[in-house]
Amino acid sequence: MKNQVMSTISLNTLLRECKKEDISDEVIKQELSAANGTNIHQIFGYRFYEDDLVDTLDVYHDGNYIIGYIIPSYQELLKKVWKFLLKEKVPEHIEDNEELTKRLTERLNQLKSLSLPIELCTEENAFYYIDDYYSKGIKYHNKIMELKRKGQKNSKEFKAINHFYYSRAFYPIYEDYIKQVQSLFFERLITKRKEYKELIETKTFNSIINKYFDLNKVAMYIVHTYLVKCEESTNHEIITKYYKLIEKYKDSSTYNKNISLTTDEGIQLNWDNLQRRIKYIEQKLQDYEVEVNWEIVPSGKKQIIKQQGQPRSLILTKEQAKKLAELQQVGKEKKEFYESTPYMLKARGLKKYRGYVAYIYENGQVLLDREYDEKAPSSAKGNAIFAIKAIDFGALSRLDKTTLRKNPKVQPIDHRGYWKDRVKELIYREGNDEEQEASNTLVKKLKKEC
């Protein structure tokens, strides 16, 4: 699961918002606790008191299904060990490294050096929180002794208390409890935690999720967590990875989207507000395409186009020389024509749009045309002009030129006949407020990056 997308979901939200009708929370919790309690006991040898580490669940994804593989959260273990031992504010994300091992071990050794119960139960020390468990242990121990004296070792009450007492490893002598149970348990949490991580990654809770929860709501909740990842990240690869999963949900007819739910943070989720957030992410990706595919051509400076190698010397026939002169004249006129138009900004294409120039106009119009290169006279003609809207520029920049030409949002104009007049109709048309704002926004983005 190392290379799969991951997000985290809350069991509270699942129970409150996503479970099927007429199913008790306790039934679901018990089944999850039993499943992960087995994992905890297998690695650490003890149960984590009343805690089976299923308050939060991790969602791993292979890119095929909207609801991926759901497993216990490894970060939950790290955060609880951090809280109990270090007594510091728990970070949003804990780096699982040697530095963490060192800090936890030093703290545990410090606590093990304390000997008096009063020292161990102070607010400043991490073991203070177990005093309740110790008191409960004394209570159960005394009850067990009482039932033994009464000859009731075979009673249901005795068996239940005895099982609970030993399954939680309660000790009647406080110092023994600390030495034999607490410190050993925390040592194992520190030294064997990665074994636990490897184990939980091989087992999923999907059968329990499918059994007790409405998958339409679970999918919506998980998509929300993917959107949060996109909204918080500035890394294009990460955003793209999560967006591909969101896109599967957006285009899916499998899931009922006429539902709503509320997260633990009080965020209301429904299809309408998810769509608004998805559009924001799409705009974020479009902005990136604008940033990486185009560079500003500074005004008032002669631009030199880099060539691959040197042009070969050719002996031309009269007909070829005439054609070349015509192309050079057309190229010169094309260049002069664009420079005479009132464009706001000119940007040169990179990568798949290398050799193209984008002219951005105030009325929301953008024209993409092949840049005339004197060393390549054929650039004067041939390729069509692509007339597109500034608001669509980012999204359409992601397409290759063949796909772009077929897109219904694109108006191709061939360099023949009265092509200049057709271009003038577009660039001198009055734009509305939205179109003008789109041009201003596009220009700001390009200037910001260049």
Tens digit of pLDDT for each residue in 39-58?
888 888 765 445 788 899 99
Long-range contacts of 183-188 (CB under 8 A, 24+ apart): 183/108, 183/111, 183/112, 185/44, 185/45, 185/46, 186/81, 186/84, 186/85, 186/104, 186/108, 187/108, 188/43, 188/44, 188/45, 188/46
What distance in Å separates the CA atoms of residue 186 and residue 112, rounded to the nearest whole number? 11
Mean pLDDT across the chain, nearest whole number? 81
Q: Give the per-residue pLDDT at 310.
A: 43
Q: What share of the chain is helix, strand, coil (3-state, %, to 5)?
A: 55, 10, 30
**Three-class SS of residue 267?**
coil
Compute the residue count for the chain. Answer: 450
CA distances from 65 to 69, 144, 255, 261 (A): 9, 52, 12, 21
In which band, very low, low, confident or very high, does the pLDDT at 311 lie, cut at 50, 70 and 90?
A: very low
Q: Give the per-residue pLDDT at 380.
A: 66
Q: 67 or 128: which carries more pLDDT confidence? A: 67
What distance in Å separates the CA atoms of residue 424 and residue 165, rounded to the nearest whole number? 87
Q: Give the per-residue pLDDT at 128.
A: 43
Single pTM value for the model: 0.59
**Three-class SS of residue 163?**
helix
What distance in Å separates the CA atoms of residue 157 and residue 344, rounded to the nearest whole number? 85
Q: Give the per-residue pLDDT at 209.
A: 95
Most confident of 51-55, 302-306, 337-341, 360-364: 360-364
Q: Which residues contact 326 (CB under 8 A, 6 or more apart)?
A: none
Edge-to-edge strand list for the sheet holding 69-72: 5-10, 56-61, 69-72
Environment class of residue 31 by beta-carbon count within 10 Å: exposed (0-12), middle (13-18) or buried (19+)?
Answer: middle
Percent of the chain, pLDDT > 90? Answer: 33
Q: 374 or 168: which carries more pLDDT confidence? A: 374
Question: Which tokens sit at 353?
Answer: 């749009």
Among the listed ranges 5-9, 47-51, 223-227, which one has the minimum average pLDDT value? 47-51
What residue segments make up the domains of the chain, in order of their start?
5-212, 216-254+266-292, 295-303+314-445
In which band, very low, low, confident or very high, does the pLDDT at 19 lie, cut at 50, 70 and 90?
A: very high
- Tokens 């390729």 locate to 383
Residue whose C-alpha is closest to residue 414's, from 386, 378, 373: 386
In which band, very low, low, confident or very high, does the pLDDT at 308 lie, cut at 50, 70 and 90?
A: very low
First to last CA, the chain: 39
8 A C-beta contact, residue 429 and residue 341: no
- Rounded mean pLDDT, 187-211: 92
In which band, very low, low, confident or very high, does the pLDDT at 381 lie, cut at 50, 70 and 90?
A: low
pLDDT score of 305 more than 70: no
What distance in Å separates the CA atoms of residue 329 and residue 335, rounded to the nearest whole number? 10
Half-sphere CA count of 290, side-chain side, radius 13 A: 29
Q: Give the per-residue pLDDT at 119.
A: 59
- Rounded mean pLDDT, 134-151: 80
Residue whose C-alpha is closest to residue 105's, from 16, 187, 12: 187
